[in-house]
A and B are shown apart, each in its own frame.
Chain A
Amino acid sequence: MSTVHVENMTKHYGAVHALDGLDLDVAAGTVYGFLGPNGAGKTTTLRILTGLARPTSGKAQVAGVDVLRAGNALPRKIGHLPEEPAFYTWMTPLEFLDYLGRLYGLSTSARKSRSKELLALVRMEDVSKRRIGGFSRGMRQRLGVAAALIHHPEVLFLDEPASALDPAGRKEVLDLIENLRGQATVVMSTHILADVERVCDVVGIIAKGKMLVQSPRETLLERYAVPAFEVEADDRPALANWGESLKRLPWVTSVTSQNGTLRILVKDVKTAKAALLVGAVGAGLVLNRYEEIRPSLEDVFLQLVGSESIS
């Protein structure tokens, strides 16, 4: 049963088709990675699913609520973190979460305990009484996550939650999302492949307003896997010569060299496994590393979307 279901959705801004017959299904309890290059239609989709925009045509349901006829039912089911969460800068985090709690009809004691719990979750207890106006981007993002969770939403929509953060901030936010697994259905839009690989169970890849593929991450990696091996050695000239000789073999697709490492894409994994190590030893190489590379989501993404689309 899908918690989020989108069917043949279009959104036109004049001549621009932001969404062009989008289909999307997210199962309950999943952390869904909504992946696509900038301008693919990710934010537009999330804006429609959260009731901020209306589609030109198509159907959308979130947690059993028809988004187009939702009224007040939708906000109680969903949490939303925009790409750049905006706050009333004159408020403190505690006041802000209390205000949101009031909007969701929480009692005074529930607001107090939930605010405390969430501020601890996003590690902001020490700044809970400071004005939001002076907060960094990372702090605002973390507060945004807390704000999205105040009412225990069934579905959480996160728009590029970690894109603009430094590595430490990114790790914190991704850890938070990981911890939500099982508590809510999470739909996370991003163009950062590593983030999706780290936290998402299911991946949907969108480009030019259309869903190219959606599938569990592992299935996707298997289906679009490009078998590859990496070989690392100190003797770079010998490594390069061996790499050149590999290019002539029929079971080798391509060989690239970078910083003393050869990346060898192959057509036949079995043959490669049997021949590569033997060949390296035969070429007189002393290996630092020999590894069968698991294809990355980036490989899949590039196959589907094309490298020119990534900005």
Chain B
Amino acid sequence: MNFITVFRKEMLEQGRTYRFLIVAAVFVAFGLSSPALAKFTPELLKAIPGVPGGIQAFFPTPTVADAVGQYIKNMSQFGVLLALLMTMGVVVQEKERGTAAFFLTRPVSRTTFLLAKFASMTVAFVVSLAVAALGCWYYTYILFEPIAWGPFLALNGLMLVVFLVYMALSLLGSTIARSNGIAVGLAFLSLIVIGGIGALPTIGDYFPGRLFSWGASLVLKGTDTAWPALWISLGIILAALLAACLVFRRQEV
């Protein structure tokens, strides 16, 4: 009910409050700078005065793999952080300010209220990531060589899934929480749990973080796959959204 109307309001809010701009700016900055950093970091190191000539030979010649690696490294850190930061307050702040109570006496279902927020954040991340990917691809093409479009698209798709995992968990935390502080705590708890377990051997193969290395392998023509991690990630997203809707439906605001 009224999903489109609420979604449009959410998109407008993202524009007016500069949330969309912040996500886009961070993503685009890292999209453009990653290939450049990969290309010029060894050059810059070589240019440091006093570096003996023999040492310079140890600096490897940068390749496409370095550019892609740099891109994934930046995105995996700052993309996840942005996913948490941009979502952790979206529900709890409305509860604290009273706007949630004011709007939930209107013909807006609580499910619509939550899903419109998630959908608008997803759009912001998709658009920002698309522009960042385009920038990264172009700079990699200029500075190194072209990357195959298909695998590069798949890499970005997999990264998006990881961001959505953290967004969905952060939204759940924001729905459960009664105060902003608790929402922040729950968001970072999800990062510690998912990131921590994902770093463990064997079990980590089933966690969202594994999707980054699968994406890298796709671009660098590797044979590595991580389908279980993808299904589990999609499952986490759905479960977190479902839980958030169920919690919010029973919650007094």
Contact = CB atoms under 8 A, between A and B. Distances in A.
B77 interface: no
A84 B99 CA distance: 10
B107 interface: yes
Interface in B77-126: 97-99, 101-102, 104-109
Interface residues of B, number: 21
B13 A52 contact: no
A52 B105 contact: yes
Contact of B5 (A80, A90, A103): A103
A102 B97 contact: no
Contact of B17 (A76, A90, A104): A90
A165 B106 CA distance: 25
Contacts of A100: 106
Contact of A51 (B13, B97, B104): B104
B1 interface: yes
Contacts of A105: 107
Contacts of A104: 106-107
Interface in A33-85: 47, 50-54, 72, 75-76, 78, 80, 82, 84-85
A134 B5 CA distance: 25
Interface string A86-109: 111010000000011011110000
B9 interface: yes
A222 to B, nearest CB: 36
Contact of B102 (A51, A86, A90): A86
A188 to B, nearest CB: 16
A52 B103 CA distance: 10
Contact of A103 (B13, B16, B17, B107): B107
Given A84-B98, A86-B99, A90-B17, A99 B105 contact: no
Contacts of A85: 98, 102
B56 interface: no
Contacts of A72: 1, 107, 109
A102 B105 contact: no
Contact of B106 (A82, A84, A90, A103): A103
A60 B5 CA distance: 30
A101 to B, nearest CB: 10
Interface string B39-62: 000000000000000000000000
Contact of A102 (B5, B16, B17, B109): B5
Nearest to A50: B105
B105 A51 contact: yes
A85 B101 CA distance: 9
B91 to A, nearest CB: 14
A82 B252 contact: no
Given A51-B105, A103-B106, A86 B98 contact: yes
A50 B107 CA distance: 12
Interface in B2-22: 2, 5-6, 9, 13, 16-17
Contacts of B106: 75, 100, 103-104
Contacts of A86: 97-99, 101-102
A90 B101 CA distance: 18
B26 interface: no
A51 B99 CA distance: 15
B252 A53 contact: yes
A76 to B, nearest CB: 6
A47 B105 CA distance: 9
Contact of B105 (A54, A78, A84): A78
9 contacts: A75-B105, A80-B105, A82-B98, A85-B102, A88-B13, A102-B2, A103-B106, A103-B107, A103-B108
Please list the 7 inter-chain residue pairs (A to B) with the smallest Cβ-Cβ separation, ordered nearest first: A86-B98, A90-B16, A80-B105, A86-B99, A53-B252, A102-B5, A75-B107
